[in-house]
Amino acid sequence: METKNIGLRNIEVADTKICAIDGVNGKLIYRGYDILDLVKKSNFEETACLLLNDDLPTDKTLEDFGTKLMQARDIPENIEKNLKNLPKTANPMDVIQSRISELAVYDKEKGDDHKTNYNRAIDLISKIPIIIAYWDRIRNGKEVVLPSKKLGHAGNFLYMLTGKEPDPEIARIFDICLILHAEHSFNASTFAAREVASTRAHMYAAVSAAIGALSGELHGGANFQVMKMLLDIQTEDKVESKIKEKLAKGDRIMGMGHAVYKTFDPRAEVLRELSRRLSEKTGQPWYRITKRVEEVTEEEMKKVKGSDIFPNVDLYSASTYYMLGIPMDLNTPIFAISRTAGWTAHIIEEKFAEAQPKPMLYRPKAVYVGKYCGPSGCEYLPIEKRQTPSLTGKLKID
């Protein structure tokens, strides 16, 4: 039997009204709106409201949404106490995932209707940044900074992280970053969230699963790896030798290439400009180094494979976050701050889509390629007569 180890690539598993990706032409669409328009004209709060609804909000809808987000800027006292009891070396993604599960315990709403899930979505979008900011302060032996009553979503996080109100330009740059990362169709973490939601598990369980998927370096952890590479390179003149060395060893250049986009990732296009602006503002060299990584990788891959390779969202987000003064190990948690809007929108759609063209429960089929001993199965031998398995999984005779 032919093996189908394709990781569901290009397999259509459900309809969605939330997001469309045109990988050939480099287009990303949220609820019908081009991401390049949203980053110019919108902000994160409005974008999150768009994702959770079916269109851009009216003034009243957006005002109500923003008020609810602001009112949800707190976490239960016991969760803050539990954060203080964690080892200071704990992985931030593990901290977030465990606290999301803990939030479920404090949810007074026991229903699973559309309105309750909508309110849960707002609550999670608001609380995840609080948890991350609190944890970073606690692990560094600092007092937590209480949420602002006037700053927007992006600015408030930077304020809670540093204790200082951010420069308006810096807050806007971070706000654009959040818009860019808010949604990306059926990626690994979103599919994990929808798969869990399809079992009729609650939203906290689905978001917790999404965070687990996001923590992997091939998904949300990629920009952390990009920044590690940039710090290893150190200077622009070392880029070519370092990239050639990595490619010669068969290493992957993180931040280059994408599973969906066959041309320039539109998010990378925006982040490249943000990185350039921050480099000029701060005097740091990371934009120029990153740009050279992009150029050398494209040149070398063209020689080897004869095809083009383009930067993805992670290449320039790494240097952008670094120049914003964000600790490297918070790169992936910040991805979660943003993507919670998309995850919760998908969870609601999974639970309450008007028409379900698929069975409620996801249940893919696997191709069994293991040992087969005939219609009756393999003979069960007493333990003293069994062969000892080797570390490779093959059997060896004692």
Confidence of residue 302 (pLDDT cuts 50, 70, 90): confident
The C-alpha atoms of residue 337 and residue 237 are separated, in whole angstroms, by: 35
Residue 181 above 80 pLDDT?
Answer: yes
Each residue's pLDDT tens digit, 311-344: 988 899 999 999 999 999 999 999 999 999 999 9
Residue among 148, 223, 228 nearest 181 (CA): 223
User: Scanning the structure block, which residue is given the tokens 């970073």?
Assistant: 136
Each residue's pLDDT tens digit, 90-146: 999 999 999 999 999 999 888 899 999 999 999 999 999 999 999 999 999 999 999
* Whole-number average pLDDT of the chain: 91
Confidence of residue 389 (pLDDT cuts 50, 70, 90): low
Grouping H, G, I as helix, E, B as strand and the rest as coil, residue 59 is helix
Each residue's pLDDT tens digit, 232-241: 999 999 999 9
Tell me the one-letter amino acid at 243.
I
Residue 2 above 80 pLDDT?
Answer: no
Confidence of residue 394 (pLDDT cuts 50, 70, 90): low
The CB density around residue 19, as the number of other CB atoms within 10 Å, is 22
- Tell how strand 395-396 and strand 388-389 pair up: antiparallel
> What phi and psi values does residue 120 have, to the nearest 5 degrees?
-65, -40
**Which H or E run includes 315?**
helix 313-323
Active site residues: 219, 258, 314
Comparison of pLDDT for 390 and 209, the residue scoring more = 209
Q: How many helices (H) and strands (E) does the chain have?
A: 16, 5
Domains and CATH numbers, the chain: 19-221+328-352 (1.10.580.10), 231-321 (1.10.230.10)
Centroid of chain to Cα 309: 22
Confidence of residue 391 (pLDDT cuts 50, 70, 90): low
The C-alpha atoms of residue 150 and residue 134 are separated, in whole angstroms, by: 19
Alpha-carbon Rg for the chain in angstroms: 23
DSSP state letters, 322-348: HHTT--GGGHHHHHHHHHHHHHHHHHH
